[in-house]
Structure 1
Amino acid sequence: MRDIVNAIFYVLRAGVTWRMLPDCFPPRQTVYGWFSGLRDRGVWESVNHHLVMLDRERAGRAASPSAAVIDSQSTKTTEAGGPRGYDAGKKVLGRKRHAMVDTDGRPLVLQCHAASAQDCDGAVPLLQASRSSFPFVEKTFADAGYVARRVAKATNIAIEIVRKPKNQIGFAVHPRRWVVERCFAWLGRNRRLAKDFETTIASATAFLYAAAVLLLIRRLARST
């Protein structure tokens, strides 16, 4: 089983296709079968949930966070097909990755959808999905793209909009919001996530959670 998980992480980290798995790993059909089974049963999400709590306790924090940050990232897709759309704001044809992270940047809830969906539309299912796994989140920080009544009324989570200064010129790091960008950078170290190569939304989401699991496992291992 460890060889199978290592093979999945190899595909994620190196960005290769299943057919290009080295011979030192189990057969690609076996590895992909396990990956799809773990994906369909929601195992990656469950493992990430437990690792987040362990890493927060290691850092001296409460296991379940009370505050979070949300944001999105638009990513190009390939000829693999599947649901996609055009993000007119960022001029990207592909999919949008939505993330809710804690105030230290640990991924809490990750979702994918077509890039044509607005941030406000993608935030509603993201916030609602967080209620079962992280019910103690009371406040969420977001940028001005989430100013909408449907976002504020989606759950009982209070949405605080972090706006940029009026006189800002050029790039500037904004309080709270930067931790999401750092999280996307952490996940982006895996070449499989350089673009969205997946045919299905489920596989794209599963690889996001697998990247989060790999990140948290390494962090916990370094602390022991």
Structure 2
Amino acid sequence: MERKSYPTDLTDMEWEILAPLIPPAKEGGHPPTTDMGEICNAIYYHLKTGCQWNMLPGDFPPKSTVYSYYRKWHGQGVWEKFNHTLGGQVRSKLGKSTQPIALAADSQSVNTGPKKGDVYGFDGCKKVKGRKGHTLVDSLGLMLKLVVSEANAPERILAAYALMELLEEPTELLEKVQVLWVDSGYDGDKFALAVWFLIQAHVEVIGPTEQEFKVLPQPWVVERTFGWFNQYHRLSKDYERLTQMREGAIYALMTRIMLLPLVSSTFTL
């Protein structure tokens, strides 16, 4: 009997895009019987609703199987590879180069749940006790790199660290970058010099002036990305014991978001 459909389910067109990116099963042994499309549907359902793994609807594959793939794919960097591949496809569809020339960086602090683990702190500016996600996005708000730390971690150090992590990956995403947009929390000659040494781009601090109020769209593409995060109840708090699993959840939900403009003729970011 065909199972009940959920709003988070992949459409046939979305699955056609995602399916080739799924890691193949290991050779040898018993032929795989798991429906990988249903694994993805269960993961997206979990992220959207925020339900516990053992409370997934019974018409999905067993929760132990779903969680095993979810965690294994993060450990192997699969979710992040999905992001880079789908992000390039989105940029191409919108008529942009797959290699961005402008980036934006910012951070979002969230409270931790009962299982807060060892990495947590207090963000005095935002009055949040928990963790902070340092996010690096392109000019469309598509995520390139995420680093989760304690909430009181210095923003400039973690932004530089995110750039270093991205440079070590087998991608060419930073080769054409000319400018990094940030807010006043990242101001300073040392940070600007570090960015120049890493990617030969200059830092542009965007903020209001005393003389004039004006709309400042460039760095706030990150805020729109944070708004996408807020649509997924699993991210309302950091429920994970390990920071890596928080990162995995955000990379996973971004894959779901980026599939929408790829299958729609009218949807834009």
TM over 0.5: yes
Task: Tell me the residue number matched to 2:247.
Answer: 205
**Which of 61, 71, 83 matches 1:26?**
61
Distance in 2, Cα, partners of 1:139 & 1:116: 26
Q: How far has the Cα of 1:167 moved from its partner?
A: 4.3
Match of 1:216 in 2: 258
> How many angstroms apart in 1 are the aligned matches of 2:163 and 2:188?
14
- 2:201 corresponds to 1:157: yes
How far apart are the structure 2 equivalents of 1:67 and 1:211?
A: 23
Distance in 2 of aligned mates of 1:208 and 1:183: 11
Gaps of 5+ in 1: none
The answer to whether the 8 Å contact 1:162/1:175 transfers is no
Measured in 1, the distance between the counterparts of 2:55 and 2:215 equals 40
1:97 paired residue number: 133
Q: 2:120 aligns with which of 73, 78, 84?
A: 84
| Structural mapping, 1:23-62, within 5 Å | 23-62=58-97
Secondary structure in 2 aligned to 1:52? helix
Q: Residue in 2 aligned with 1:108?
A: 144
**Which residues of 2 match residues 107-146 of structure 1 at below 5 A?**
107-131=143-167, 132=169, 133=171, 134-136=173-175, 137-146=177-186
Given the two structures, how large is their TM-score scaled by the length of structure 2? 0.78
Asked if the contact 2:181–2:203 (Cα under 8 Å) also holds between the matched residues in 1, the reply is yes
1:149-169 per-position Cα deviation (integer Å, ceiling 9, x unaligned): 442233233211112221468
Give the one of 43, 50, 68 matched to 1:15.
Answer: 50
* C-alpha displacement of 1:184: 0.7
Aligned to 2:236: 194
Work out the CA distance in 2 between the residues paired with 1:12 and 1:168.
Answer: 41
Q: 1:36, CA displacement in angstroms?
A: 0.8
Identity rate of aligned residues, in percent? 36
CA contact (8 A) 1:124 1:150 kept: no
CA-to-partner distance for each residue in 1:189-223, whole Å, 9 max, x for gaps? 11111111111111000001011111001221223
Partner Cα distance (2:68, 2:238) in 1 = 20
SS of match in other structure, 2:79 = helix
Aligned-partner SS, 2:264:
helix
Q: What are the Cα deviations for residues 9-42 of structure 1, in whole angstroms up to 9, with x where unaligned?
A: 1110111110111101111111111111001000
Q: CA deviation at 1:173?
A: 4.1
Contact 1:142 1:177 in 2 (8 A): yes
Task: Work out the CA distance in 2 between the residues paired with 1:153 and 1:95.
Answer: 27
Q: Greater CA radius of gyration, 1 or 2?
A: 2
C-alpha displacement of 1:96: 0.5
Greater Cα offset, 174-183 or 3-12: 174-183
Task: Call closer, same or farther: CA 1:79–1:181 in 2, change over 3 Å.
Answer: same
- Cα 1:27–1:168 change in 2 (3 A) is farther
Across the aligned residues of Structure 1 and Structure 2, the Cα RMSD in angstroms comes to 1.6
List runs of 5+ in structure 2 lacking aligned partners. Answer: 1-35
Q: Is the 8 A contact 1:76 1:92 kept in 2?
A: yes
* Cα deviation, residue 129, structure 1: 2.3
Query: How far apart are the structure 1 equivalents of 2:113 and 2:204?
Result: 35
Residues 112, 237 of structure 2: 8 Å contact kept: yes
The AA in structure 1 aligned to 2:150 is A
> SS of the residue aligned with 1:153?
helix
Q: Which moved more, 1:50-59 or 1:93-102?
A: 93-102
